[in-house]
Amino acid sequence: MGLPPVWVRRVVIAPTVVVLAFTLLTTLPIWLILALAVSPLVPGRLRVPRLVFLVIVYLVWDAIALVSLAVLWVASGFGMRIRGPWFQRAHYVLTGRFLSMLFWFARWSLHLEIDVVGTDPDTAQPGRPEIVVSRHAGPGDSFTLIHALVNWFAREPRIVLKAALQWDPAVDVLLNRLPNRFISPGRTGTATLEEQIGDLATGLDDNDAFVIFPEGGNFTPRRKVSAIARLRARGLHDMAGRAESLRNLLPPKPGGLLAAIDAAPDAGVIFVAHTGLDRMLSVADVWRELPMDKRLVMRFWSVPPEEVPTGEQERTEWLYDWWARIDAWIDENRPAPRPLRFVRDRP
C-alpha cells in the first residue's frame, strides 16, 4: 500500500495520533483494568497488560514528539529557518532525548538489556566521519543502532531507510527535516538510487555517521531465495553461490554502499552486527515474545579508509567477505531459545 500524500500525513494522520494518544492516556486506568481482566484467559505472564501499556506508551511518545516538532517549526519562523544549522542541531538533540525516553521504557517494561562489544565510532578514530553498514533485522534493532549513534557516540546520523516508515508521523516529520533519504524498494531505478545515496553521503563532517542497510529488508527464507534468483538472472553466479551459504542474512546490495564510499572517501567504514531482537518484526511478533526479558548484543568492526578496497569488484567481494563474517558472528551469539512451557490440562 502506497503512502498518502504529505498533506494528508501532516493534516490528518499526525493530529489524529495526538488526539488518540491524549484519549488513551486520560483513560489509561480503564484500559489497564480491562487488560488485567482478560489476562488470565491468555497464556503468558501479564501479556495483555504489557502489550496495551506498550502501545499506549508508543502513541504518547509519538504525540509528544509531534508537539515538540510543531514548537520547533513555529520557532523557526513557521519553517523558514528549519534547515538552518541551529535548528538542525536542535532536531538531533530532540532525536536523542526521545530515543533515550523510548529505551528507558523498554528497559523498564520489557527488561531489555543492550550490550555493545567491539570498536565503536568513538574509539575507532575520533573526529572522523563514518559510514555505518548494518544488517537489517527489524525496527527494534534499527532504533537501537540510531540510539547508540546519537546518545552514546555523539554522532549525527544520515540514514537511508524505507519509505514505509513514514507511516509513523513522528518519524515522518523528524527524519524528513534532517538529511536522510526514504526509498521505496523496487520503485526507484538503481542509477537514481545510487545518485541519491551519493548526494546524501557528500560533505560528511567529523561527527556525522552515514547509515545504510545493504540488505534492503528483513531476512526471511523466501526473500533470500528470491534475492539469489535475481543474482543468477543477472549472471552473478559467484555472488549467488556465496549468498546461498548465508544462514541469517540476505545477500547485500553493494551499489548504495559503493556510492557512499565514493562520495566520502575520507570516511571510515564501521560494520554492525546485532542479535537478540531478530524475531521482533511486527506487532504479532511482539505479542508472541512477551514477556520479553531479552538481551540485545551489538558488535562493531572498524575499517579505516585506507583499508577500503578501491575497485568496484574488489569492494563487492570485500562486502561479501564481511557479510560472511557477520553471518558467522550471529550464529555464535544468537541467544538460546526460551524453554518451552507446558501447561497441564485442566480436568
C-beta atoms surrounding 180 within 10 Å: 17
Can you read off the three cell numbers belonging to residue 65?
Answer: 514528539
Query: How far apart, in whole angstroms, are the C-alpha atoms of residue 131 and residue 295?
Result: 26
How far, in Å, CA of 145 to CA of 133, rounded?
Answer: 11
Reported as a pLDDT band with limits 50, 70 and 90, residue 185 is low
Of residues 155 and 141, the one with the higher pLDDT is: 155
Q: How many CA atoms lie within 13 A of 6 on its CB side?
A: 3
3-49 residue pLDDT tens: 899 999 999 999 999 999 999 999 999 998 998 898 888 776 777 88
pLDDT at 343: 37
Inter-CA distances, 97 with 61, 90, 117, 144, 150, Å: 11, 11, 23, 13, 9
Distant-in-sequence, close-in-space partners of 215: CB < 8 Å, separation ≥ 6: 135, 136, 249, 250, 251, 252, 253
Write out the three cell numbers for 227. 534475492
% of the chain beyond a pLDDT of 90: 59
Helix (H, G, I), strand (E, B) or coil at 271: strand
pLDDT band per the 50, 70, 90 thresholds, residue 142: confident
What is the sign, positive or negative, of the torsion defined by CA atoms of 191, 194, 196, 202? negative
So what's the pLDDT on residue 285?
60
Taking residues 213-241, report their average pLDDT. Answer: 91
At residue 220, the pLDDT reads 83
One DSSP character per residue, 138-160 reads: -HHHHHHHHHIIIIIS--EEEEE
pLDDT by residue (tens digit) across 251-293? 999 999 999 999 999 999 999 998 866 655 555 666 566 655 6
Per-residue b or e along 6-41, where b marks 16 or more CB atoms closer than 10 Å to that residue's CB: eeebeeeebeebbeebeebeeeeeebeeebeeebee
Nearest-CA neighbor of 251 among 276, 216, 275?
216
* pLDDT value at residue 225: 94
Q: Starting from the edge strand earliest in sequence, which strands make up the sheet with 181-183, in order?
A: 113-118, 295-303, 268-275, 130-134, 208-212, 156-162, 181-183
Q: How far is Cα 315 from Cα 257, in angstroms, rounded to an integer?
A: 9
In this predicted structure, what is the pLDDT of residue 292? 58
Instruction: Give residue 73's pLDDT.
Output: 97
Which residues, at least 6 apart from 17, have a Cβ–Cβ distance to it below 8 Å? 59, 62, 63, 66, 169, 170
Q: Would you call 179 helix, strand, or coil by DSSP?
A: coil
Q: H-type helices in 27-178, by residue range? A: 28-38, 47-75, 85-110, 121-124, 139-147, 169-177
Give the span between the Cα atoms of 113 and 106, in whole angstroms: 9
Nearest to 45 by CA among 258, 293, 250, 230: 293
- In this prediction, residue 344 carries a pLDDT of 33
Q: Is the pTM of this model over 0.95?
A: no
Helix (H, G, I), strand (E, B) or coil at 345: coil
